[in-house]
Structures are given as structure tokens and as C-alpha cells.
Amino acid sequence: MEYQKDILCIGAGYVGGPTMVVIATKCPQYRVTVVDINKEKIHAWNSDHIPIYEPGLDELVKKVRDKNLFFSTEVEKGIHEADIIFVSVNTPTKTFGQGAGKAADLQYWEKTARQILANSDRGKIIVEKSTLPVRTASAMERILNGNPDGIHFEVVSNPEFLAEGSAVGDLENPDRVLIGSKETEEGRRARKEIVEIYANWVPKARIIESNVWSSELSKLTANAFLAQRISSINSISAICEKTEADVNEVAYAVGKDSRIGPRFLNASVGFGGSCFKKDILNLVYICQSYGLTEVADYWESVVKINEWQEKRFIQNMLSNMFNTIAGKRIALFGFAFKANTGDTRESPAIYITRGLLDERAEVVISDPQALINAEIDLEDVKDSLFFEIDPYKAASGAHAIAVLTEWDLYRNLDYQRIKEAMVQPAFIFDGRNILDHQKLFQMGYNVFAIGKAPLKHF
Ligand code: NAD
Ligand code: UGA
């Protein structure tokens, strides 16, 4: 069959995988190939156990895989055949050299650019799908267009706004799709090609076209604004705990103002995930490198409040459990950075587990999807931990439960049965405010939620 477009995606991760699955589903007239250097990951994408847990994704993969969607490790062949290449490799925070701890590590990105150059005998459109520092497109073009054969590559920015746990819905019905290019004739032509892909299912009014720098910067800005909302409400949660105001009531009242809006105001143990922290720190680094110290400090404080919120959670546990948790069994309900994913990158649970271990607590980790990743994250202290998928078993013999992920599963457990198997007095620390605190208090638990007055029997 002749395909209208031959699309390649380099990077079969949380973004590349689901995005290409949805493009292949919506556009049977295109051939979509996803390549990755990680052989096990590609093998998993081609098996019955795809490498990421994302509601609804399994079913879609089954529909299109080996029809117009292909997963492969043949990166070079893929580059050779494609007209349009989405690059969705990881761009973590740099851990070494200049900018360590803040700047984006672009080594995977640059390697990809060089691979594209080495395996292309004609011009192609290169789409920045990864989240990148503003002005990366110009570095990319310099590498690509410096070739002696005069092959021309056009770099387009098309950042991804999906959130994990709702990736399929976010991709099928996005608030907006953003496509930035150079404002030249060739740039606009390339942009139009990418618009054409999304126009297969996204209403035109939701496809935003912009210059390439605005597009790159909008992605960092969107994540910074979202994280800022969480840090803002989390900072208020601390005042609520001191004043008997209730953070849920405050968030509800504040969010009713249509200028503010109700979403993303859930106070929590802290935001996690692979992107918020890294992208804000990247923004901070960019500001610092332009000498914008005040702007850098402003955004860095969003990350600092988040770190403080995580630390505060551990301190609350310690001080309320009579200032010692040494030898006490503590069950963590949830380890993923949010519900409906097995992803644990930058999960607050990692920091909290380590903090509890420092206090010599006996920590039992429970999570319906994230136990394998939890074991990897905590490899160095694995022998001091217990991993138990069944929350009833995890809480048996425990002094305290800490809810760290808002899985629905934890809302509906038999907490009476759980309490009877716990050491008394039993404590619950609800880091996600998902439980019925009054009911638990009446059962005899001492209940500590985020941004609410404590409910204690002593
Ligand atoms: P990921 O780590 O899950 O996936 C990246 C993949 O790229 C890995 O499988 C890796 O093996 C592969 N890779 C690296 N170098 C390669 C190369 N040279 N050739 C082939 N494959 C290579 O990362 P992710 O979560 O999918 O994030 C990718 C990018 O998307 C990041 O820039 C991130 O900031 C951005 N982003 C992520 C999310 C999210 O929710 N995870 C949402 C929006 C944007
Ligand atoms: C986030 C953004 O929401 C996406 O738009 C973006 O594409 C993505 O980052 C990215 O660039 O990687 P994600 O990190 O997958 O998506 O998940 P979110 O739903 O944003 O949650 C992030 C963290 O904030 C989680 O730990 C979550 O529990 C926490 N959170 C979220 C709160 O504590 N309170 C809230 O009200 C909302």
C-alpha cells in the first residue's frame, strides 16, 4: 500500500509511544514507525505487555500495530525511509559540568541530530517533540544544515502537553496542539505538513501556529505555570493546618473565580513526575544565563516550596508519632508520582521513603502498578524495605499508613478491617486528601491530612 506520509518517531517512551499510537489510529493513510535504542522496550511494545501502563493504550496498540504502526530498533533504516521525523528522546536535567542540576542534558538530542544527518540522502522535516530549552531549534539546524551535500532540513517545534495517566484522552482530545516554525516560506510549508497530520482529528481552532521560539518557550512556561499552581496551594495548605481553615474549601472558593479556575488546585504531598522539576530548573537556568536573576529566583521558588512540602510531610509524621518512628512499621499506599501510571520518576514517595528510612522506620511499599519501578529507584536500600502489592497485607502490623498516590483503590478499602490489624493507636497520613477523614477518625484512627486541622484522639 502507498502511504500518504512516512512518519518516524525516535524515542519510544511515555511520549513517543502513546503519541504515535494515536497518530496511527487517527490516520490509517500514514505509515508510522517508532524506533528506540532500547531493545527491551521495543520488544515490549511488540508484545502483549507494552512497557508503560496508560489507560486505554493497550487496546489502541492492538488495533494498529503491524498494520500502519511499527516498533523497531532499526533507527538508521527508519531515518532513511521517513519524510517526517518526530524526535521524542529524553532530555533530563544535566548531572555534570556547567549547568549541572538545572540545565537540560541535550546529549541524547544531539546524538539523534547527528544520526539523522548521517542517514539522510534527502531533506526532511524534523519535529521537536521533546521538551527543550528555547532556541534549541537553531542548534539543531546548525548541526543538520551544515552538511556538505546541501541537503536541507526544516526544524519544527511541536511540544507535547499530554499528562501521564490520561495520555490517550489528552492526545485524542487536546486543549490545543502547538506547532512553531521559522517564519520563512520553507518554515511555513513544513509547519503546514505537521498541521495536516493533526487536522485529521483535532479541530482547526485548537491548532495553534507560532514562531519556533514561542513554541519552545510556551512548553516550559505551561509546565512552570501548572507547577506554580500546585506550589501555591501547597503553601496555603501549611497555613490551613495552623489555622483550622480547610485547604479543600479554600481551593474550591478560590477556583470558583473564573479568572483562576478550579483545576490543578489539589493540595498534595508535592508534585512529582519527570517534567515539572526538570523543566522549571531548565527555565531557571535559561533565565540565569540571560542575567535575569530575579526571574530565575521567582521560578526556582516553585521547586523549593515543593521540596519543603515533601519534607514537611515527613516532619509531620515524626512529630505526631511521638517524635520517634524507629522500628515502627509504616505502610505507604502508592508509590507512583500520580494515579493511573506506573511511572515513579521524581515521585515524592522516593524522598519520603528515604526520609522514613533515615529515621529507621520499617517501610512497606504498596502500589498496584509501580512496584517494579520502586525497586529500581530504591535499589541501594532495597534490602531494608518491603514491597507488597496487597494494601491489606502491607498495613498489617503497621503503626501508620501514608497515602502517597491518589489511586481510586485506596478510597474504597475496608479501613475498619485494616485498623484491626494495625498497632494501636493507628495513624493515617493522607498525602492526597482522598480519604473520608471524619469517618476514619470515628473508627479510631488519628488522621492527618494536607491543609486540614489534625483529627486526633490524644
Ligand atoms: P522516556 O525516557 O520515557 O523516553 C525517551 C526514549 O528515548 C527512551 O526510550 C530512550 O531509550 C530513547 N532514546 C534516547 N536516545 C535515543 C536515540 N539516540 N535513538 C533512539 N532512541 C533514543 O522519556 P519521555 O517521558 O517519553 O519524555 C521524552 C520527552 O518528552 C522529554 O523531553 C520530556 O520532557 C517530554 N515530555 C514528557 C511528557 C511525559 O509526561 N512524560 C509529557 C510531555 C513532554
Ligand atoms: C505534566 C503536565 O500536566 C503536562 O501537560 C505535561 O505535558 C507534562 O507534565 C510534561 O511535560 O511532562 P504529568 O507530569 O504527566 O504532566 O502529570 P500531572 O497531572 O501534571 O501531575 C504532575 C504532578 O503534580 C503529580 O505528582 C500530581 O499528583 C501533582 N498534582 C497535580 C498535584 O499535586 N495537585 C494537582 O492539583 C495536580
Distance 274 CA to ligand 2 centre (A): 9
Among the three residues 202, 231, 258, which one is the final residue of a domain in this structure?
Answer: 202
Distance 71 CA to ligand 1 centre (A): 15
Domain range for 188: 5-202
Cell of 18: 502513546
* pLDDT over threshold 90, residue 113: yes
Assess whether 197 and 72 both reside in one domain. yes
Kindly state the DSSP code that residue 163 receives in the 8-state scheme.
-
Assess whether 109 and 233 both reside in one domain. no
Is the omega angle on the peptide bond into residue 425 within 30 degrees of 0, that is, cis? yes
CATH number of the structural domain spanning residue 346: 3.40.50.720
Which residues form the pocket of ligand 1, taking CB atoms under 6 Å from any ligand atom? 10-16, 35-38, 41, 75, 88-91, 108, 111-112, 130-131, 160, 162, 164, 274-275
Assess whether 243 and 138 both reside in one domain. no
Evaluate whether 82 touches 7 at the Cβ level (below 8 Å): yes
- The model's pLDDT over 317-364, given as tens digits with 9 standing for 90+, comes to 999 999 999 999 999 999 999 999 999 999 999 999 999 999 999 999
Residue 124: pLDDT band by 50, 70, 90 thresholds?
very high
Predicted local distance difference test score (pLDDT) of residue 146:
86
Atom 11, ligand 2: residue with shortest CA distance: 275
Ligand nearest 262 Cα, by number?
Answer: 2
Predicted local distance difference test score (pLDDT) of residue 283:
98
Predicted local distance difference test score (pLDDT) of residue 147:
87
Q: What percent of the chain has pLDDT over 70?
A: 100
Assess whether 195 and 219 both reside in one domain. no
* pLDDT over threshold 90, residue 1: no
Probe residue for ligand 1, chosen from 54, 72, 74, 88 as the CB with the greatest number of ligand atoms within 8 Å: 88
Write down the residue that cell numbers 527555565 correspond to: 283
Probe residue for ligand 2, chosen from 276, 347, 351 as the CB with the greatest number of ligand atoms within 8 Å: 276
Assess whether 218 and 316 both reside in one domain. yes
Atom 30, ligand 1: residue with shortest CA distance: 130
In a domain, 207, yes or no: no
Distance 11 CA to ligand 1 centre (A): 6
Assess whether 234 and 193 both reside in one domain. no
Assess whether 99 and 9 both reside in one domain. yes
- The model's pLDDT over 9-54, given as tens digits with 9 standing for 90+, comes to 999 999 999 999 999 999 999 999 999 999 999 999 999 999 999 9
Among the three residues 202, 221, 251, which one is the final residue of a domain in this structure?
Answer: 202
Q: Which atom of ligand 1 is nearest to the CA of 129?
A: 30
Among the three residues 160, 182, 202, which one is the final residue of a domain in this structure?
Answer: 202
The contacts of residue 120 (CB under 8 Å, 6+ apart) are 79, 80, 151, 153
* pLDDT over threshold 80, residue 118: yes
* pLDDT over threshold 90, residue 77: yes
Predicted local distance difference test score (pLDDT) of residue 97:
97
Q: Which atom of ligand 1 is nearest to the CA of 278?
A: 34
In a domain, 49, yes or no: yes
Assess whether 428 and 324 both reside in one domain. yes
- The model's pLDDT over 141-177, given as tens digits with 9 standing for 90+, comes to 999 998 889 999 999 999 999 999 999 999 999 999 9
CA distance 407 to 10: 32
Burial (CB count <10 Å: 0-12, 13-18, 19+), residue 447: buried
Evaluate whether 452 touches 247 at the Cβ level (below 8 Å): yes
Judge whether 287 counts as a catalytic residue: no
Assess whether 198 and 219 both reside in one domain. no
Q: Which helix (H) or strand (E) holds 331?
A: strand 329-333
In a domain, 395, yes or no: yes
**Sign of the CA dihedral running 268, 229, 213, 122:** positive
Probe residue for ligand 2, chosen from 223, 265, 269, 404 as the CB with the greatest number of ligand atoms within 8 Å: 223
Predicted local distance difference test score (pLDDT) of residue 219:
98
What are the start-end ranges of the H helices in 244-368? 247-255, 276-289, 293-320, 348-358
Assess whether 350 and 386 both reside in one domain. yes
Assess whether 298 and 169 both reside in one domain. no
Q: What percent of the chain has pLDDT over 90?
A: 99
Q: Considering the chain, what is the average pLDDT of its residues? A: 97
> How many residues are listed for the chain in this entry?
458
Which residues form the pocket of ligand 2, taking CB atoms under 6 Å from any ligand atom? 131, 160-164, 223, 226, 230, 264-266, 268, 271-273, 275-276, 337-338
Distance 228 CA to ligand 1 centre (A): 24
- Among 27, 240, 275, 287, the active-site one is 275
Q: How many domains does the chain have?
A: 2
Predicted TM-score (pTM) above 0.95: yes
Helices H, strands E: what count in the chain?
17, 14
Assess whether 197 and 253 both reside in one domain. no
